[in-house]
Amino acid sequence: MPKAYWIAHVTVTNPDPYALYAKGATEAFAKHGARVLARGGAVEHLEGEGHPRNVVIEFDSMEAALACYHSPEYQEAKAHREGAGIANIMILAGAPD
């Protein structure tokens, strides 16, 4: 079964509530077996519209990634992000094994 990747491109506009989101989201990711591959490091933006914060998180499957996103823990954390930034988030299925 292919892995899945949660990819987020974010511009934080209000750091205090966003910090509450980050804490809660990190807890939800851990509960769902996620592995953070990249989070907020240096980025060289080459094309299209960019955001200063970029995140890639690996899950064992698309089902696991979607379960995390729809979980009560993540949705509670997400409420802190709303109004605290601009986010483009997607979940991408990995290439077949």
Task: Kindly list the distances between the CA atom of residue 69 and the CA atoms of 44, 47, 63, 66, 83, in Å, as whole numbers in the listed order.
Answer: 27, 28, 10, 5, 18
Predicted pLDDT at 1: 86
- Per CATH, is 4-93 categorized as 3.30.70.100? yes
Predicted pLDDT at 35: 98
This prediction has a pTM of 0.90
Predicted pLDDT at 31: 97
Compute the distance between CA of residue 86 and CA of residue 9 in angstroms, rounded to an integer.
Answer: 8
pLDDT-above-90 percentage for the chain: 89
Mean pLDDT by 10 residues, the chain (97 residues): 95 96 96 95 90 96 98 97 95 92
Per-domain boundaries in the chain: 4-93
